[in-house]
Chains A and B, each alone.
Chain A
Amino acid sequence: MNKVFISGNHAFAEAAIRAGCSCYFGYPITPQNELGEYMANHLVNNGGVFLQSESETAAINMVIGASSTGARVMTSSSSPGISLKQEGISFLAGFELPAVIVNVMRGGPGLGNIAPAQGDYFQATRGGGHGDYRTPVLAPGSVQEIADLTFEAFSIADRYRTPVMILGDGMMGQMKEPVVFPDFVKDLPEKEWALKGRGTGKSRYMASLILDPLEMERHNWKLMRKYGEIEKNEVRYESFMTDDADIIVIAYGTAARIAKGAIKRARGDGIRAGLIRPITLWPFPKKVLLDFASHISRFIVFEMSTGQMLEDVQLAIAGKAEIAFHGRPGGVIPTPAEFARYIYRENQKLKK
């Protein structure tokens, strides 16, 4: 396929359609409206189902219903709407139903604003809803990666029978870049476990109520073993200029793009900085950070929040190196020059 110039929100939608998504349910909220609008046209033209629900709560429950029949299903929203979906995400996890949920984050808490922010990291990576579960979280850093990770998200969701979240932000959703889309997926395998009506066979049910604590505990550990597999197999990250680095920056999504600009500037002035960009936020790329901590003494976490991924870096590095933090919450978009100045300051401390 040829390169097309397309926005992040449209790329989520186009990639989902190509990945075999046949149902989309959602409720409008800025800055991700273009995703649903694209689905209303193109998914329907591809023979799929688009439905604008009465709320995000309804949308995620429609997702549950459609997913239970074996369909590939997507919903999308932005921060306040994702909060409303959390009950349903917990049910998806309990039922072990695949689904892809896109969060195009904006400033918060509350209604906040509609500018790009990264304040939903905790909510996304710590489960978000109630109960003992994890959600794989993918964080694209370009529109091309939005397309690629949307494909990945559907396959991880199906492979492990789990909801998967793609965590973008208003910048990722709105900006346009050239993208080469993967080809249309053909012939997805039949899902053995799906509800299709019992036919002449045995009936089955999906229930998340498990009244017997011992049985519930077994279910919890079964889920946990699955999460263990995901942690083993699905960690993804990008290393950028880390080979000779003295300073390692850790940033994801839009912040990582800004960090790259800052690192190039700093390198121009002889500062050997590099970047680790987590692509999966859960499972978090712990091991690579711990390995760096054996010979690098300074890490900088850079987020468009007050410091949430910071905690994962602290856990990964386990006190073996110093971690500095630079954050701009609230929808403020930091500049590469600003962050480069921060790197210079940290580099000064390193020399002392």
Chain B
Amino acid sequence: MKLKNDWPKYYKKDVVSHYCPGCGHGIVHRIVAELLEEMQVGERAICVNPAGCAVLAYLYFDIDMLESAHGRGTAMATGIKRARPDLFVFTYQGDGDLSAIGTAETIHSANRGEHITVIFINNAVYGMTGGQMAPTTLIGQETTTSPLGRNPALEGYPLHITDLVATFRGVIYAERVSLDGPAGVTRTKKAIRNAFQTQIDGLGYSIVEILSACPTNWKMSPVDSFSWIKNEMTREYTPGVLTDKRGDKK
């Protein structure tokens, strides 16, 4: 009998993960690696990874990788895809990377309808730099730079950037999923599969936002983190398909 959890072909062997226990990054990495294999795109894939906790993603993914400057991933991905339209190009970005410093690149690559896929890890904080407030931080959420809790009068409201880009005509597929347990893993995999397929079919831009745990900076156990995603994060960020124009394009 073939074991179901074979080591994914495009995930490097003999590497020790630097991600914290319970971190969403590790789970999404595994899902992406499985899909690259199942969808047979690993050989022609290039991943642009961010400055953020996933800055070392090239140590794990066994495909060609380009590390980006903080926030510039979708501009680099644009350059790759325009130069080599035959390649399968995706970015992997955190919420600080994608929706703070990289907002302009995110919006314009989406609006141009670049034929790329964006994997967007929303953990409501800046993980790598130690848990500062992000544009996605929830109202009232305490972080190292919003120690009294995010106050909308001073710090504005959580930014719903995926909802925003989903309104663009150039964005073919956008979905938000919550990675809050085993069912979340299945949902996440299905969403990324749809997004990848959008690019494989030559339809255009796709993005998946994943509400993802950062137990370390949330100062919670992994189990409590999953509950927090389910009970708190999804109240601000409603999961679901935000746009699906694949039918219009075919």
Contacts and interface: CB of A to CB of B under 8 A. Distances in A.
A198 B67 contact: no
A195 B105 contact: no
Contacts of A68: 46, 66, 76, 79-80
B80 A58 contact: no
B65 A65 contact: no
Contact of A69 (B83, B104, B105, B108): B83
Interface string A189-208: 00000011111100111111
Nearest to B56: A209
B133 to A, nearest CB: 23
Contact of B79 (A62, A197, A204, A205): A62
Q: How large is the interface on A (under 10, 10 to 19, 20 to 34, 35 or more residues)?
A: 35 or more
Interface residues of B, number: 37
Interface in B26-46: 42-46
Contact of A200 (B43, B78, B107): B43
A192 B104 CA distance: 33
Given A51-B82, A64-B79, A65-B76, A197 B46 contact: yes
A235 interface: no
Given A23-B82, A205-B64, A197 B58 contact: no
A110 B68 CA distance: 28
Contacts of A87: 69
A6 B149 CA distance: 61
Contacts of A280: none
Given A195-B46, A197-B63, A205-B65, A64 B76 contact: yes
Nearest to A208: B67
Given A54-B105, A195-B46, A203 B61 contact: yes
B75 A69 contact: no
Interface in A54-92: 54-55, 57-59, 61-69, 71, 73, 87-88, 91
Interface of A: 22-23, 25, 49, 51, 53-55, 57-59, 61-69, 71, 73, 87-88, 91, 195-200, 203-209
